[in-house]
Amino acid sequence: MPSLGQVLLEDASGPVYPPPMINIRDLSVRCGRCMNFMTLASYAPRDGWNAYTFECETGGCDPAASRTVVEVPIERDEFAQKHPDCGGSCGTR
């Protein structure tokens, strides 16, 4: 994919759209074993990515075994940009 700079140089007349943002709160993460919604348990910035760890807390599944990590590119992570300090622990969007 061409960079935004290349797009501007090659087609200055067309509309330029910002890359779509991803909000982790818009995703539905379900446990693949019991199909219950999983709970956001922790958040950790990594190299270029924000890693969100989800756990199944129904009691029927071992949280350690069903744990799921969802990674979002930092520059497209709307949720992290709204919550730079808490990493989402404040519970709001």
Least gap, CB of 34 to Zn ion (angstroms): 3
| Residue nearer to Zn ion on the CB measure, 33 or 93 | 33
Would you list the DSSP string of 34-64? T-PBPEEEEEEE-SSEEEEEEE--SSSS-HH
Least gap, CB of 68 to Zn ion (angstroms): 10
Least gap, CB of 65 to Zn ion (angstroms): 9
Question: What H or E segment, with its residue span, contains residue 4?
Answer: helix 4-10
| Residue nearer to Zn ion on the CB measure, 23 or 42 | 42
Least gap, CB of 79 to Zn ion (angstroms): 23
Q: How far apart are CA 85 and CA 8, in angstroms?
A: 34
Q: How far apart are CA 42 and CA 17, in angstroms?
A: 32
| Residue nearer to Zn ion on the CB measure, 23 or 36 | 36
Q: How far apart are CA 62 and CA 58, in angstroms?
A: 9
| Residue nearer to Zn ion on the CB measure, 61 or 72 | 61
> Which residues contribute to the site for Zn ion (CB under 5 A)?
31, 33-34, 56, 61, 66
